[in-house]
Amino acid sequence: MRYWCKILILLLIVYSFVAVQSIEGLDSLVLWKRDGKWFGGQSFQLEQKVLFDATLTTVLNEPCSRDTINLIVTRIERDNSDKFLIKHWPGPSADPIYIFYRIENTDTVYIGRFGADKVVVPGNGYVYTEQRSNEMFSRRRKFRIADNEFIEVKQPFFWVGIQSKLAQDVTLYSDTCRTNPVANLVKGQDIFVLVNSGDYYLVRTPLGITGWVYIEHNDYSGIIFDIFPLGD
């Protein structure tokens, strides 16, 4: 029973990301974009942008200080008249930050900030972020606002979704205690990284076998080529 519960959770993760967090029909304001390839040869596209419902949003895209930009004024919840100002700050060393303020009459109230490359405000009452900068992979998170602060919606795992190769021989385990080995894989073998939990990554082999791999946060592609901290 526990096995099938885990499979169901994984299927729900994939379905919820596609169905609930769909960005079809949203407009975007792109701040920065770069294409390239990771160490393992996987193509990537890095972007810093904000996505929003144009019917709920006024685009500003204007500097408000030396480095900070007023991006948009928008409603986070379609059926709520509250408006929010979203600013962007590039950070001290390529550490992009998005800053949120609630607009009250002629004043603003600080709500919070995210380290993120992409922010999505679809008008459903939530804010979604995606961050590759300073992370081991593109980490996707979901937030709501309560009492003028952001509350993160907790997830059982973080979706990774990376096709890559092993940088060394690896043993897969059925559990994060690393007591029950599933398979022994060799350097250079293709693998698909499914989800992340702390320092553990659930991977799938070309034959469809899954298992957990331990990777420390500061590992620079020493185990899986495309899992590494992007930043200084």
Radius of gyration of the chain (CA): 20
Domain identity same for 61 and 143: yes
Q: What pLDDT is recorded for position 184?
A: 97
User: Which pLDDT score is estimated for 43?
Assistant: 72
Looking at the structure, tell me whether residues 91 and 54 fall in a common domain.
yes
81 and 195 in a common domain: no
* Same domain, yes or no: 207 and 100: no
Q: What is the mean pLDDT of residues 164-174?
A: 96
Residues 97, 71 within the same domain: yes
Is there a single domain that holds both residue 140 and residue 196?
A: no
Q: Which residue's entry shows tokens 């992007």?
A: 230
Tokens encoding 19 = 């169905």
Query: What CATH number does residue 208 fall under?
Result: 2.30.30.40
Q: For the chain, how are helix, strand and coil distributed in percent, rounded to 5?
A: 10, 50, 40
Residues 141 and 162 in one domain: no
Q: Report pLDDT digits (tens) over 199-228.
A: 999 999 999 999 999 999 888 889 999 999
Q: How would residue 231 be classed by pLDDT, with cut points 50, 70 and 90?
A: confident
| pLDDT at res. 8 | 36
27-36, 111-120, 158-167: least confidently modelled range? 27-36
Burial 82-100 (b: 16+ CB within 10 A, else e): ebbbbbbbeeeeeebbbbb
> What residues does 36 pair with on adjacent strands?
44
Q: Which positions ≥6 away from 100 have C-beta within 8 Å?
A: 84, 85, 86, 87, 110, 111, 112, 113, 127, 150
pTM: 0.85
52-82: pLDDT as tens digits: 999 999 999 999 988 899 999 999 999 999 9
The rounded mean pLDDT for the chain is 88
Query: Is residue 117 domain-shared with residue 56, that is, in the same domain?
Result: yes
Give the closest residue to 172 by CA, choosing from 204, 140, 130: 204
Specify the number of domains making up the chain. 2
Q: What is the pLDDT of residue 40?
A: 64
User: Residue 175: which domain range?
Assistant: 158-214
pLDDT, one tens digit per residue, over 143-161 is: 999 999 999 999 999 999 9
Question: How do residues 90-148 score in pLDDT, each as one tens digit?
Answer: 988 778 999 999 999 889 999 999 999 999 999 999 999 999 999 999 999 999 999 99
